[in-house]
Each structure stands twice: as structure tokens, then as C-alpha cells.
Amino acid sequence: MNEGKIKAFELDKMEWQEFFDEHMQHRFFDKRMIGAEEEGIVVNFSKYDKGFYKDAHRHNCSHGIYVISGKLRTDEGVYGPGSFVWHSEGSVARHGATDEEDCVFLFVTNKPFDIIYVSEEEQKETEH
């Protein structure tokens, strides 16, 4: 990374960092670039293993997912490379990779990131 006026990342030279989602009991991988502590937003290069699909959740931030390879499966459809999927702040969603292949994507938020898993009851309330 260049520490001058700009920040430049050579993603192919960065190692994947493994993280564990306690709620889902599943791992995921990031190459973390911009953190909320620095800029108030999050920008990660991320990867979901094939078959990984997050339970219903919401965030107190809007967030976007730009699919680079594989397919992003959501509760509203499946999106391939070149797709940009935006989730508005507070919206309840499920997303992950398809069963056939890993999904690699750029993940960006508009402010600090959090995740709140929701019950089936709360999810049904938001659908009406």
C-alpha cells in the first residue's frame, strides 16, 4: 500500500484474512482496505465460500456489493460478475454465494458497519 496522499492496494499481493461469524458458525474472508476508524466508511475485497448464505439481517448503514466473480445469491435474485447490488440502511436481507461457486466481491458502506440478525417474526413484519 502507498501511504502518500492516496491509498493504493495491490489486491493480488494481499493475503485473505479469515473471519468467523459466531451467529452463522461459518467463516468468511476479507482483504480489508478502508476501515470506519479511518474514513467513516468500510471498503473490503471479500469472499464467501460456495454454499454460504447469511441468515436474515440488517445494518445501520447502507451497503453495496459489486460482484467480481461467482454469483451473489440474495433473497431477491442471483447476480453475476459486473452486478452492483445496493442495500438501503435498515433493510432486511439475506445474501451469500450460490452452491456452485465462491463469490468474490467489493463491499462498501456509507458509514461504520454493523450487523444485526433478525428473527423470522421481525423479517415478516418488514415484508408487509
pLDDT digits (tens, 9 = 90+) for 9-51: 999 999 999 999 899 898 999 999 999 888 899 999 999 999 9
How much is the pTM?
A: 0.86
95-97 and 72-74 beta bridge pairing: antiparallel
Give the model's pLDDT for residue 99.
Answer: 97
* Span between the terminal Cα atoms of the chain, in Å: 46
Give the model's pLDDT for residue 3.
Answer: 59
Q: Domain coordinates of the chain in residue numbers?
A: 17-127
**What cell was used for 23?**
451467529
**What cell was used for 50?**
460456495
The residue to which cell 435474485 is assigned: 77
CATH architecture of 17-127: Sandwich (2.60)
Distance from C-alpha of 111 to C-alpha of 13, rounded to nearest angstrom: 27
Residue 56 buriedness (CB in 10 A; 0-12 / 13-18 / 19+): middle
Greater pLDDT, 87 or 36:
87
How high is the mean pLDDT of the chain? 90
Give the model's pLDDT for residue 58.
Answer: 94
Say if residue 1's pLDDT is above 60: no
Distance from C-alpha of 17 to C-alpha of 42, rounded to nearest angstrom: 15
The residue to which cell 432486511 is assigned: 92
Mean pLDDT on 57-71: 96
Give the model's pLDDT for residue 121.
Answer: 59
Is there a contact between 106 and 31 (Cβ–Cβ < 8 Å)?
no
